[in-house]
Amino acid sequence: MSDVVERFMRYCAIPSQSDPFNAQEVPSTRSQFDVSRVIAAELKELGAENVELDEHAYVTAFWPASKGCEDLPTLGFCTHVDTAWQSYGSPVHPQIKHYEGGKLTIGYDRHGREVYVSPETNPQLEHMVGWDLVTADGTSLLGGDDKAADAMIVSLLARLKEHPEIPHPRLALSFVPDEEIGHGAALLDLKKFGATFGYTIDGGPLGEFCYETFNASEVIVKAKGLSVHTGTAKGTLINASEALMKFHQLIPAQERPEYTEGYDGFYYLSYIKSSCEEGEAGYILRDHSKEIMDKRKQTCLDAAQFVNRQYGSSVLSVEIKDQYFNLADVVTKPENKHLIENARKAYEKVGVPMKFVPMRGGTDGAQLSFRGFAAPNLSACYYNAHGVREFVPVPELEKMVDMLEALIGLYAQPCA
């Protein structure tokens, strides 16, 4: 078992889901510290400089430049330690499954149903015959998002320690919590981090490269009802649950995630909790276009106003919070285009064509880029993220460490 595979499986076995309902605390779950402590300890053992684990489960460290590259700009990398909250995430039992074609049974879920992948669920498997895949056992997600990236970075440093002749600039490294609930690197001290450009590693199949993300907003709709005995309720009762349902019916049904792809934006009802007297519904809005995103926000405001007019009172209120913006607005600036070109060259050096993907989501780079750290997104090589069918192909995981070595080599010279 290679260094990166062994490390990856160890990280995955440590549960670390984030919790959107405890987002006021950072990290939102104490379990994220368990992964951060392991990573920090390994960084210190390898000889990384200024390794810090702070009170919010952020791990930061630096790796000194190779001889002759000391005066070059620092190159930054950012990954995250939490895993998705939408599926089972504890306990996690990583395993290696050899794929010989057709259907591959991963295991059985907590209801006894078979969990499998096949060319029907993942056409990419057609070129993976004979490969080893890392999966969970069917009872939980794996956590390749984003522990594959965590393992890649630490394994890259292990390689640099073993081969100090590999050219590279000073590297700034961050492993952050709560990316899956929209917090991510919000508390990363960029002045202390010391890099004005670099990469997040939080993408899908090997070769994918993303410098376009959604613009993202969260919408909280709150309902205030009036409970009256149902026998005498006529003309008086106001049901908060009914008001939320009326609101939802006004949101375009054809613009939900299950009906969209590519550059299509969407409205997504992420949760609803309600009784007669009070209720709350949470939505996320996504669109690559800022102008269309503004229209989506207005749709929500108009829907609430329409429902309130029906009731003749302010039953519904709407709170809108911007979460992140399309990082293309930063990465495509002339001074940052080397990030795109060098990623393409590094993929080519390891025999992988780079594929541009408009990301239907966001990464830490989406917020970091607007704070002064331009950061497009590289492959983390996971498939079927956020669910029990998640897997990471071993050859892609290993190849990505080679790609990162090639990438840092390209920055062992001044940016064009």
Residue position matching structure tokens 């984003």: 146
Q: Is 322 a catalytic residue?
A: no
Full domain range(s) for residue 256:
216-324
Q: Quick one: which H or E segment has residue 346?
A: helix 338-349
CA 131 to chain centre: 26
Is the residue at 223 inside a domain? yes
Burial of 318 (0-12, 13-18, 19+ CB in 10 A): middle
Say whether both 251 and 127 belong to one domain: no
Q: Closest Cα partner for 221 from 283, 158, 156?
A: 283
Beta bridge partners of 60: 52, 174
Specify whether 229 is located in the same domain as 90: no
Is the separation of the CB atoms in 102 and 88 below 8 Å?
no
Tell me, what's the pLDDT at 276?
A: 97
Tokens of 128: 């993976």
| Cis bond before residue 15 (omega within 30° of 0) | no
The domain boundary, picked from 324, 355, 379, lies at: 324
Biggest CA–CA distance in the chain, Å, is 84
Do 166 and 253 sit in the same domain of this protein?
Answer: no
* Bridge partners, 174 (sequence order): 60, 78
CATH number at residue 317: 3.30.70.360
CB 357 within 8 A of CB 208: yes
Q: What is the pLDDT along the chain (416 residues), one digit of tens a residue?
A: 899 999 999 999 999 999 998 999 999 999 999 999 999 999 999 999 999 999 999 999 999 999 999 999 999 999 999 999 999 999 999 999 999 999 999 999 999 999 999 999 999 999 999 999 999 999 999 999 999 999 999 999 999 999 999 999 999 999 999 999 888 899 999 999 999 999 999 999 999 999 998 999 999 999 999 999 999 999 999 999 999 999 999 999 999 999 999 999 999 999 999 999 999 999 999 999 999 999 999 999 999 999 999 999 999 999 999 988 899 999 999 999 999 999 999 999 999 999 998 888 778 888 899 899 999 999 999 999 999 999 999 999 999 999 999 999 999 988 75
Task: Please state, in angstroms and rounded to a whole number, the distance separating the CA atoms of residues 140 and 156.
Answer: 28
d(CA 218, CA 268) in angstroms, rounded, equals 10
In a domain, 357, yes or no: yes
| Residue whose token pair is 């050096």 | 349
Residue 222 located in a structural domain: yes
**How many domains does the structure of the chain reveal?**
2
Q: Which of 324, 349, 371 is the endpoint of a domain?
A: 324
- DSSP code string of 258-303: GG--TT--EEEEEEEEE-SSEEEEEEEEEES-HHHHHHHHHHHHHH
**CA-to-CA distance for 328 and 355, rounded, in angstroms?**
16
| Paired sense of beta strands 198-203 and 377-379, if any | parallel
| 262 and 131 part of one domain | no
- Shared domain for 267 and 231, answered yes or no, is yes
Which of 82, 178, 208, 287 is an active site residue?
82
- Cα–Cα distance between 38 and 42 in angstroms, integer? 6
C-alpha to C-alpha distance for 79 and 270, rounded to whole angstroms: 25
How far apart are the C-alpha atoms of 402 and 350, rounded to whole Å?
A: 7
Are 179 and 42 part of one and the same domain? yes
In terms of domains, do 206 and 115 share one? yes
Residue 390 lies in a domain: yes
How far is the CA of 76 from the CAs of 45, 187, 383, in angstroms?
A: 20, 16, 25
**In the numeric block, which tokens belong to residue 368?**
């970091």
Indicate whether 416 belongs to any domain.
no
Residues 359 and 391 placed together within one structural domain of the fold: yes
Collapse the DSSP code of 312 into the 3-class scheme (helix H, G, I; strand E, B; otherwise coil) and give the result: coil
Q: Which residue out of 42, 145, 146, 179 is catalytically annotated? A: 179
Question: Is residue 260 assigned to a domain?
Answer: yes
Residues 348 and 238 in one domain: no
Secondary structure (3-state) at 94: coil
Q: How far apart are CA 73 and CA 414, in angstroms?
A: 8
Neighbours of 193 (CB within 10 A): 21
Q: Which of 298, 324, 350 is the last residue of a domain?
A: 324
Tokens of 366: 């989406």
- Mark whether 381 and 406 lie in a shared domain: yes
Check whether residue 45 and residue 121 sit in a common domain: yes
Confidence (pTM): 0.86
Looking up residue 185, the CATH number of its domain turns out to be: 3.40.630.10
- Positive or negative, the CA dihedral 52, 324, 360, 117 is positive
Residue 82 known to be catalytic: yes
Give the C-alpha separation, 269 to 375, whole Å. Answer: 29
Cβ-based neighbour number of residue 404 at 10 Å: 24
Which pLDDT belongs to residue 416?
A: 58
31 plus 160 within the same structural domain: yes
Peptide linkage before 189 cis (omega within 30 of 0): no
